């Protein structure tokens, strides 16, 4: 018989994922509006004002996601047992 015990999965696996990969998640989310606006201008010939809106949306979403990641990191560091 094997006496190894299975370690149960952490109930906070998503928080741990955000702590480890949060920088990339923020960058990817921040690039989405920019990529969408470039695609709209290239495919449908929309005015260049759409590009400006994409840049503003990208900056806003990146800052929002970056602050969310930092907040999760603080919560994990202070409240979760190690």
Chain segment 35-80, per-residue pLDDT in tens: 999 999 999 999 999 999 999 999 999 999 999 999 999 999 998 7
Residue 74 domain-assigned (yes or no): yes
Can you list the alpha helix ranges (DSSP code H) found in 45-79?
49-79
Residue 71 domain-assigned (yes or no): yes
Residue 49 domain-assigned (yes or no): yes
| E strand or H helix at 5 | none
pTM, two decimals, is: 0.81
Other residues' Cβ atoms within 10 Å of the Cβ of residue 29: 17
Rounded-to-integer distance, Cα 69 and Cα 15, Å? 9
pLDDT category at 3 given cuts 50, 70, 90 is low
pLDDT at 7 exceeding the cut of 90: no
Rounded-to-integer distance, Cα 35 and Cα 27, Å? 12
Reading the block at residue 66, the tokens are: 């970056």
Residue 5 domain-assigned (yes or no): no
Domain ranges, residue 68? 15-79
Domain count, the chain: 1
């Amino acid at each position: 018989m094997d006496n190894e015990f299975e370690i149960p999965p952490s109930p906070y696996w998503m928080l741990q994922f955000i702590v480890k990969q949060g920088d990339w998640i923020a960058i990817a989310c921040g690039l989405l509006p920019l990529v969408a606006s470039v695609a709209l201008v290239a495919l449908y010939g929309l005015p260049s004002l759409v590009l400006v809106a994409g840049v503003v949306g990208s900056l806003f979403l990146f800052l929002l996601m970056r602050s969310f990641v930092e907040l999760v990191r603080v919560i994990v560091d202070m409240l979760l047992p190690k």
